[in-house]
Structure 1
Amino acid sequence: MTISFPNDFGCRWSVLVRDIDTGEELLSHTPDRVLSTASIGKVFLLHRLLREVDEGTRSLDEVVARRPSEKIGGSGIWQLLQQPTLSLYDLGALIGAVSDNFATNTLARVVGLDAVTEHTRALGYKRSRLNDIIRWPIPPGMAPRLSEGNASELVDFVARVQRGDDLSAASADVLRGWFGAGMDLSMVGSVFDLDGPDHNTFDNGVWFWNKTGTVSTVRADIGVVMSPTRRIAFAVLAQWDRGEDARGPVLETMAEIGLLIGDALGWVDPRPKRRELHASAPLAAPVAAPSLERIRAAAADARLRDARYLVIDAASGEELLARKPDEPTPTASVMKTVTGTAALHVLGPEHRIPTRVLTGREPGEIVLVGGGDVTLSRVPSGQPTFYPHPAHLDELAAAVRERIGEVTRVVLDDRLFAGAEWHASWDVEGRSPEGYIPFISALQVDGDRDDPVLDDSPRTDDPVARVAKHFSALLGGPEVRRARADEEFPGEELARVESAPVEQLVREILRSSDNALSEALGKLVAIARGGDASFASVHRELTAVAAELGLDVATANIVDGSGLSDENRVTPRTIAALLRRGHRGDGAAGLMAERLMRTGSTMAANRFVGANRVVGDAVAAKTGFINSVHSLAGVVRTVGGRELVFAVFGCDLERPVEPATRQAVDDFVTRLHLDGDALR
């Protein structure tokens, strides 16, 4: 049977189904892609425990007491029991059967997360791991994913568990027994109609053991299905965008994979209606053979001007199609993929940008300290602004009035970005009338827009003055002045508001391509790394972060954080390498890539129109435009399900590019979708 993997709601898959004894791959779909796996990583904790039992340093009869700090809601039943102590065997059984979070945290304390990490690496797994204990909410600086992994490594792991390769026969049997008691049969195992509490044996023609992982954006299932004559290992991982819900199509697809495994085992479906429907399912309609010539024609389109591009296989990294891939090129807003990744890496996805109010030197004097949050809004709380989920000035004012009553003077401290508010290469018309970038002051509201709801709206020559006007009005009209360069304000903090988390801010710069927010994030990255807010520091620190992430930036010239400057230069190869890392789920790059806009839903309505609508939701990418380039970089899924990373720059350093160049870029990527399976 043919499995179609839905991509609605930004859903990504990593899937592998393999015969344990012959090595035959029955199904494979981006098996090397790294995704969040929720509770799947607990398997490495259990495996490490049993290795210590085999080494004689641990006994499963050892009794341990739980601690209140280890209690966590979600999956599990120990939180509901009065019994405060359990044996290590019982902890393992609870984790295997119901993925018990309380038991997991207690066992992780006993075994040690570092020991689990070292053990997982010693098994040979570089991409799959348990990152942390279960915490909620997740504190700043802690791993945003409980665990992560890919289907290739996890299939290898469950196959080794079934064969008993790395443990004694007794310990391997214990581990399989814990997994065989697994109560969650909602995914791949849903088709076999097994008895949840008792299926650690042949039942209904199969023997099934598994471990699942579930959070609001993840469904993951790994395990083994056996008939009396055949053993099949599987790992099916699905992750989708935060705020979306893909459970329905994901669980349907997982059930289809269960049916595929059943077919391979010669299993007879006990449900007659489903069996009849499955047997009579029509074959997929034939599609036109992919054409390399059509791709080459689109790549040679004269409207692309001095085209620079690179297309690589997302799974293998193999270069498939290229023109000037190592030519340093103006990036336009594709630069925001670099800035967003750097912000996630350096600041952390949960970091929030503060705006604070301190006591001044005199009674009634307060100091409003800008922390670089350009999304701070003058709009009353609860009313819409351009930025989603901003902090509000009126919240600060209300908190100040509650603390000290009358305010006689407001000192505005915007010095965090002082002297670096504007780059000389930016077009001044961008402030007004075109309104696509303001001065990048550390203290401003609504990106200094005249209209706080519109994207492109005229900006002023003094963003701080706009803050002064609105904040003073909220406080009854006290005197207002700017902080002097040498002043210090060690006063008590009276109030603070904070921006949305960095992960949401990165989503916003990828969604709206907001230049002010991108520049602010770039400056905050530079400051967090010990630099200042100058463009020289932004250049130095963003380049250094990119190098630390393994990107080749030897010829790069990163001038700003937004890509607005025509002086920016980055090669298509560097951008493609970043996006491939993101596609594979590597750290901050993976978090950035999860937030790329997708055709058919979140990408700008003027992209992939007309005949190019055929791509559906197959493209996730970042767009870019300045006078010298129309750029697009991301991942495209081919008709055959292959995934290609691309970085395309329709470039002209002599004369401005036109909308026809943008159309040619979209045409080229559409052709990758339709004919990309011909690239070898």
Structure 2
Amino acid sequence: MPVTRRAMLGGVLSSMATAALADAPLTSIRPRARLTEYAAAQIIRQSGLSGTVGCVLANTATGEVLEAVAPDLPQPPASVAKAFTSLYAIEALGPAHRFETRIFADGPVRDGVLDGNLVLVGGGDPNLVTDHLAELAKRLKDAGLREVKGGFQVWDNALVNLDEIDSAQLDHLGYNPTITGLNLNYNRVHFEWKRADGEYTTAVDARSQNYRPAVTVARVQVVDRTSPVFTYRAAEGVDEWTVARRALNNGGSRWLPVRNPALYAGEVFATFARSHGIVLKRPEEVAALPDGQVLATFHSDPLQQMMHGMMRFSTNITAEAAGLSATAALTGQQRGLRTSALGMARWADGRAGIAPYFVDHSGLGDASRVTAADMVRFLTAERVAPTLRPLMKRVDLVDQNRQIIRDAAWQVVAKTGTLNFVSSLAGYIRTADGQDLAFAFFGADLEARERGKNAGGEAPAGASRWNRQAKALQQRILRHWIRAGSG
């Protein structure tokens, strides 16, 4: 039986609750005595965490609300939004769906010679990496192609092109990438620097597990300044970066976003084609998908497996490409990010009778809002847990000394979400006596977040400390719920 809005509104705490919640009615089946004895509201109050917190615990089988604090407070879900996106994509596209990256020939091929253009065609695969393009180039050679008389083109319009997910984020953050129908290495390049005799040498490459070809679609120059750490400008298809000398140590590396992913993928593919004796011209983007024959294809992992990886590693580009693809499949046409995100919210309403608000599919934008009540209603809706629960990552519980509690009698699986001054956690608990519970925790200090955004910088003052406190509070509440649920 799904959790109802009435049950959510009623399932509010105990005599130890805050004054604002003390008079709220309980559900028809009252919370267990031990939950009343160790009320989550008091744990939150004693934590001293600034901002606001909403949390809910419910029985997945009966829909009984066992405990709730500010259940209808809308909060940014951060990456917990990916739980919605996973199910949205799987139900729209099917768990066995695979993204295709193809090589087209728009002219005849005779005796291994293409009299026309070769086209690298993206299918929206968000997890395409350099190793995959190496395999695709090998398949092209195995198909018998030896020479291309025409040009080399790239097509990336399988999805609406997005310059970035969240325009409020800093330019150099690799987790805020461009999204197109042709992506590579999560649309990031690897920037590496070394200092010798007081001078820096830099390198930019498209590394993955087995290969690291150098690329020219991005350049980084070390300059004398204190701040900002990075600057960016677009220059005729090339990403021009500068980095402050004083921000660099003797050697290191980081990932930088790529704003021209189709050209990036084209350059890397051409490198591997050349290694097989197939010399290609400089890649050029084309707006229309050309007619022609398919010479080689690379298929992604099945969507179910892809969503499992996304939930584990919280890759934003995977969430956005999957969400955009799901919306296109459901509506029959491509949609922009905001429209697609609103479509996912409408789907969630029809799926679980809830009213979230999404501005993207990854949770990177802090304008999205979900209540703890709606999150738990979604987790306990019909046919959600059998698909979603196996995608979630096990959460280890730690004691007051931050030592992992080793206890095989219970299990917590969940999706985490973190932004500066935002911390979320939602998932499932299996207790020692075999009960299945669903929970959600949403915490945020939005005033502090706004101050940090206005100040600029990647790590605002106080953000790390706040997020550590929030995660410690999540742990205390989880320990409380497991003790109570196992009683």
> TM above 0.5, one fold?
yes
Task: Provide Cα deviations, 1:308-341, integer angstroms capped at 9, x if missing partner.
Answer: 1111122211112112212221000000000000
Aligned to 1:414: 156
Amino acid at match of 1:493: V
Amino acid at match of 2:96: E
Q: Please show how residues 269-348 of structure 1 align to structure 2 within 5 Å.
A: 290=34, 292-296=36-40, 297-300=42-45, 301-303=47-49, 305-348=51-94
Pick from 118, 128, 133: which aligns with 1:393? 133
Task: Provide Cα deviations, 1:41-66, integer angstroms capped at 9, x if missing partner.
Answer: xxxxxxxxxxxxxxxxxxxxxxxxxx
Cα distance in structure 2, aligned partners of 1:342 and 1:543: 10
Task: Provide Cα deviations, 1:170-191, integer angstroms capped at 9, x if missing partner.
Answer: xxxxxxxxxxxxxxxxxxxxxx
Q: Would the aligned equivalents of 2:93 and 2:326 in 1 still touch at CA under 8 Å? A: yes
Q: Please show how residues 482-561 of structure 1 align to structure 2 within 5 Å.
A: 482-485=284-287, 487-529=288-330, 530-553=332-355, 556-561=356-361
Larger Rg: 1
Q: Secondary structure at the match of 1:613?
A: coil
Pick from 469, 472, 480: which aligns with 1:671? 480
Q: Would the aligned equivalents of 2:118 and 2:148 in 1 still touch at CA under 8 Å? A: yes
Q: Would the aligned equivalents of 2:425 and 2:442 in 1 still touch at CA under 8 Å? A: yes
Cα distance in structure 2, aligned partners of 1:500 and 1:416: 18
Aligned to 1:375: 127
> Following TM superposition, by how much is the alpha carbon of 1:669 offset from its aligned partner in structure 2, in angstroms?
1.1
Pick from 440, 457, 460: which aligns with 2:179? 440
Gaps spanning 5+ residues in structure 2: where? 3-32, 108-113, 191-206, 210-252, 450-465
Q: Would the aligned equivalents of 1:309 and 1:646 in 2 still touch at CA under 8 Å? A: yes
Task: Provide Cα deviations, 1:142-199, integer angstroms capped at 9, x if missing partner.
Answer: xxxxxxxxxxxxxxxxxxxxxxxxxxxxxxxxxxxxxxxxxxxxxxxxxxxxxxxxxx
Pick from 412, 431, 444: which aligns with 1:638? 431
CA 1:580 to 1:456, structure 2 compared with 1: closer, same or farther past 3 Å?
Answer: farther
Cα distance in structure 2, aligned partners of 1:420 and 1:650: 29
Residue 357 in 1 paired to residue 159 in 2? no
> Following TM superposition, by how much is the alpha carbon of 1:440 offset from its aligned partner in structure 2, in angstroms?
1.2
Shift >4 Å, 4+ stretches: 451-456, 606-609, 614-617
Residue 660 in 1 paired to residue 469 in 2? yes
Range that drifts further, 664-673 or 362-371: 362-371
Q: Would the aligned equivalents of 2:161 and 2:181 in 1 still touch at CA under 8 Å? A: no
Pick from 133, 145, 148: which aligns with 1:404? 145
Amino acid at match of 1:342: Y
> Following TM superposition, by how much is the alpha carbon of 1:302 offset from its aligned partner in structure 2, in angstroms?
2.5
CA 1:671 to 1:612, structure 2 compared with 1: closer, same or farther past 3 Å?
Answer: farther
Amino acid at match of 1:634: G
Pick from 423, 436, 450: which aligns with 2:165? 423
CA 1:655 to 1:351, structure 2 compared with 1: closer, same or farther past 3 Å?
Answer: same
Q: Secondary structure at the match of 1:569?
A: coil
CA 1:573 to 1:677, structure 2 compared with 1: closer, same or farther past 3 Å?
Answer: same
Amino acid at match of 1:673: I
Residue 467 in 1 paired to residue 206 in 2? no
> Following TM superposition, by how much is the alpha carbon of 1:640 offset from its aligned partner in structure 2, in angstroms?
4.3
Q: Would the aligned equivalents of 1:612 and 1:666 in 2 still touch at CA under 8 Å? A: no
> Following TM superposition, by how much is the alpha carbon of 1:491 offset from its aligned partner in structure 2, in angstroms?
0.8
Amino acid at match of 1:576: V
Pick from 606, 621, 625: which aligns with 2:418? 625
CA 1:482 to 1:417, structure 2 compared with 1: closer, same or farther past 3 Å?
Answer: farther
Cα distance in structure 1, aligned partners of 2:377 and 2:371: 10
Q: Please show how residues 28-67 of structure 1 align to structure 2 within 5 Å.
A: none
> Following TM superposition, by how much is the alpha carbon of 1:364 offset from its aligned partner in structure 2, in angstroms?
4.3
Pick 1 or 2: higher relative contact order, CA cutoff 8 A, min separation 6: 2
Pick from 593, 596, 599: which aligns with 2:389? 593
Q: Would the aligned equivalents of 2:165 and 2:176 in 1 still touch at CA under 8 Å? A: no
CA 1:570 to 1:458, structure 2 compared with 1: closer, same or farther past 3 Å?
Answer: same
CA 1:671 to 1:543, structure 2 compared with 1: closer, same or farther past 3 Å?
Answer: same
Q: Please show how residues 2-41 of structure 1 align to structure 2 within 5 Å.
A: none
Cα distance in structure 2, aligned partners of 1:643 and 1:637: 5
- Aligned-CA RMSD value: 2.8
Q: Secondary structure at the match of 2:437?
A: strand
Identity between Structure 1 and Structure 2 (%): 28
Residue 648 in 1 paired to residue 447 in 2? no
Q: Would the aligned equivalents of 1:412 and 1:480 in 2 still touch at CA under 8 Å? A: no
Q: Please show how residues 131-280 of structure 1 align to structure 2 within 5 Å.
A: none
Amino acid at match of 2:318: L
Structure in which a larger fraction of residues adopt strand: 2
Q: Secondary structure at the match of 2:103?
A: strand
Aligned to 1:570: 370
CA 1:560 to 1:338, structure 2 compared with 1: closer, same or farther past 3 Å?
Answer: same
CA 1:456 to 1:309, structure 2 compared with 1: closer, same or farther past 3 Å?
Answer: farther
Cα distance in structure 2, aligned partners of 1:341 and 1:609: 36
Number of residues paired by the alignment?
A: 366
Q: Secondary structure at the match of 1:663?
A: helix
Amino acid at match of 2:388: M
Cα distance in structure 1, aligned partners of 2:87 and 2:475: 24
CA 1:459 to 1:422, structure 2 compared with 1: closer, same or farther past 3 Å?
Answer: closer
Cα distance in structure 1, aligned partners of 2:340 and 2:310: 17
> Following TM superposition, by how much is the alpha carbon of 1:677 offset from its aligned partner in structure 2, in angstroms?
5.0
Q: Secondary structure at the match of 1:333?
A: helix
Q: Would the aligned equivalents of 1:310 and 1:572 in 2 still touch at CA under 8 Å? A: yes
Q: Would the aligned equivalents of 1:639 and 1:674 in 2 still touch at CA under 8 Å? A: no
Cα distance in structure 1, aligned partners of 2:400 and 2:420: 21
Task: Provide Cα deviations, 1:446-505, integer angstroms capped at 9, x if missing partner.
Answer: 2123345599732223222321221111122411333333x3411111111111000001
Normalising by structure 2, we get a TM-score of 0.69
Q: Would the aligned equivalents of 2:154 and 2:263 in 1 still touch at CA under 8 Å? A: no
CA 1:498 to 1:456, structure 2 compared with 1: closer, same or farther past 3 Å?
Answer: farther
Task: Provide Cα deviations, 1:261-317, integer angstroms capped at 9, x if missing partner.
Answer: xxxxxxxxxxxxxxxxxxxxxxxxxxxx94633343324332263001111122211
Cα distance in structure 1, aligned partners of 2:401 and 2:84: 27
Q: Would the aligned equivalents of 2:416 and 2:424 in 1 still touch at CA under 8 Å? A: yes
Amino acid at match of 2:424: S
Gaps spanning 5+ residues in structure 1: where? 1-31, 34-288, 380-391
Normalising by structure 1, we get a TM-score of 0.50
Task: Provide Cα deviations, 1:501-523, integer angstroms capped at 9, x if missing partner.
Answer: 00001101111011111111011
Amino acid at match of 1:625: T
Q: Secondary structure at the match of 1:450?
A: strand
Q: Would the aligned equivalents of 2:389 and 2:428 in 1 still touch at CA under 8 Å? A: no
> Following TM superposition, by how much is the alpha carbon of 1:533 offset from its aligned partner in structure 2, in angstroms?
3.9
CA 1:341 to 1:643, structure 2 compared with 1: closer, same or farther past 3 Å?
Answer: same
Cα distance in structure 2, aligned partners of 1:573 and 1:615: 29
Q: Would the aligned equivalents of 2:263 and 2:283 in 1 still touch at CA under 8 Å? A: no
Cα distance in structure 1, aligned partners of 2:324 and 2:284: 21
CA 1:520 to 1:589, structure 2 compared with 1: closer, same or farther past 3 Å?
Answer: farther
